Amino acid sequence: MVKPEDLAPLAPLMTEWRRDLHAHPELGFEEERTAGLVVAVLRQAGIEVAAGIGRTGVVGTLRGTAAAADRAIGLRADMDALAMTEATGLPWASTHPGRMHACGHDGHTAMLLGAAVWLAAHRHRFAGTVRFVFQPAEESRGGADAMIADGLFTRFPMQTIYGLHNLPGLPLGTIAVPRQRVLASSDSWAVVFRGHGTHGAKPHLGTDAVLAAAAFVQAIQAIVARETDPLEPAVVSVGHIAGGDPAAPNVIPAEVRLGGTARAFSAAVRDHIEARLAAIAAGIAATHGVTADTSYTRRLSPTCNHPAYAARMVAAATATLGVAQVRDDHPPLTAGEDFSSFLAIVPGAYAWLGTGEPAHPEGVHHNPHFDFNDAALLPGAAFWCGLVLQELAP
């Protein structure tokens, strides 16, 4: 068993790493400096390191010495930042305009490094192999798939993989493990309506793509509101609409472009949304005498915990942090995660780590006022260590 206080000597180091990473954020597949820090810390701890896995990913391998064992588990941290400009004004704020750790991946990396250092010093307490998976490009750039394509599971075999993400609003140091549904599928779609542009004063001489686009925005709301089981989550949002020229408001443009996102938790709902966006676009195009070109891109599958592995995370969190700091379920969220790609290959689970109420009222994920709460580093790292001691008990 391990308790957060056992890792207390590592807390200042983890905070230092976290703030250093925060000040030097790197976007997906550009995590050169970040990977450099990860490699240096792992090597210094005596952990076998493979760098350049999925371009900028790093895999550390640590073998327990308590007994001979074939079992291997993976612990994953993501390393990338977002293309946005930080507004926290903190001493460790981003030194790169247009790049920011606004999702707390700096904290995930520092926490897993802290756990790796502690586990390396306590390898006599477990049997089997830990793979520390430092993943690049989680933020919609395909880092998990890149690592898989680069042989993550063949070159570094593991039977199970676990993930952890910070969650503001959840009490500080609390681990919440969804029993099954964690995060939604995240897909994008686009539609182009094309008509015959004409003088705004003589609409009868053309066909109006603007009117078709307006009808489309209204009509697709029925996919969720009228066609999907009210007890089944689904989201269809329009995030982009463009047509015409603001300098020429008296012109009906020939073309209007729309784009948006779609989220679901079940394959059937996801399929339905995809089919209906195209069908509604075609129907509305026919109604208005224009054409519609629809495209739908599947980006991330839903992230769903394997219930037996979620229960293991709950057990490890309870042993490490105490029952008051653990929730054995959490409602699904409609964000997306490419951890789903790992779970499609090996079973595992994903947990939320509470970071408490944000210091800034707007300090939620992907907000320029976000900052990872360093007070969560210790319970987070201790939880990782507790999970390893439990899963690889001799």
CB of 78 to Zn ion, least distance (A): 6
CB of 166 to Zn ion, least distance (A): 8
CB of 158 to Zn ion, least distance (A): 22
Instruction: Output the residue with the shortest Cβ distance to Zn ion.
Output: 103
User: Which residue lies nearer to Zn ion by CB, 140 or 318?
Assistant: 140
Active site residue 245: no
> What does the alpha-carbon distance between residue 393 and residue 204 come to, in Å, rounded to a whole number?
77
The yes or no reply on residue 35 touching Zn ion (CB under 5 A) is no
User: Which residue lies nearer to Zn ion by CB, 138 or 255?
Assistant: 138
Span near Zn ion by CB under 5 A; candidates 53-61, 97-105, 121-129, 298-306: 97-105
- State which of positions 283-302 bind Zn ion (CB under 5 A): none
Instruction: Assess contact for 177 and 314: CB atoms under 8 A.
Output: yes
The yes or no reply on residue 79 touching Zn ion (CB under 5 A) is no
Active site residue 208: no
CB of 353 to Zn ion, least distance (A): 12
> What does the alpha-carbon distance between residue 266 and residue 237 come to, in Å, rounded to a whole number?
18
The yes or no reply on residue 100 touching Zn ion (CB under 5 A) is no
Query: Could you say which of 30, 31, 78, 80 is catalytic?
Result: 80
Find the binder of Zn ion among 27, 35, 37, 103 (CB under 5 A): 103
> What does the alpha-carbon distance between residue 113 and residue 35 come to, in Å, rounded to a whole number?
11
How many residues at the interface with Zn ion, by CB under 5 A?
A: 1
> What does the alpha-carbon distance between residue 131 and residue 146 come to, in Å, rounded to a whole number?
17
CB of 202 to Zn ion, least distance (A): 48
Please, what is the angle between helix 267-288 and helix 209-219, to 10°? 150
User: Which residue lies nearer to Zn ion by CB, 99 or 288?
Assistant: 99
User: Which residue lies nearer to Zn ion by CB, 84 or 304?
Assistant: 84
> What does the alpha-carbon distance between residue 59 and residue 121 come to, in Å, rounded to a whole number?
18
User: Which residue lies nearer to Zn ion by CB, 77 or 392?
Assistant: 77
> What does the alpha-carbon distance between residue 129 and residue 5 come to, in Å, rounded to a whole number?
24
Span near Zn ion by CB under 5 A; candidates 12-20, 103-111, 255-263, 265-273: 103-111
The yes or no reply on residue 77 touching Zn ion (CB under 5 A) is no
User: Which residue lies nearer to Zn ion by CB, 49 or 103?
Assistant: 103
Structure tokens at 306: 């394997």
Give the CA diameter of the chain. 84
CB of 100 to Zn ion, least distance (A): 11
- State which of positions 105-164 bind Zn ion (CB under 5 A): none
Span near Zn ion by CB under 5 A; candidates 98-106, 142-150, 153-161, 175-183: 98-106
**Residues classed as catalytic:** 80, 138
Applying CB under 5 A, the residues found at the interface with Zn ion are: 103
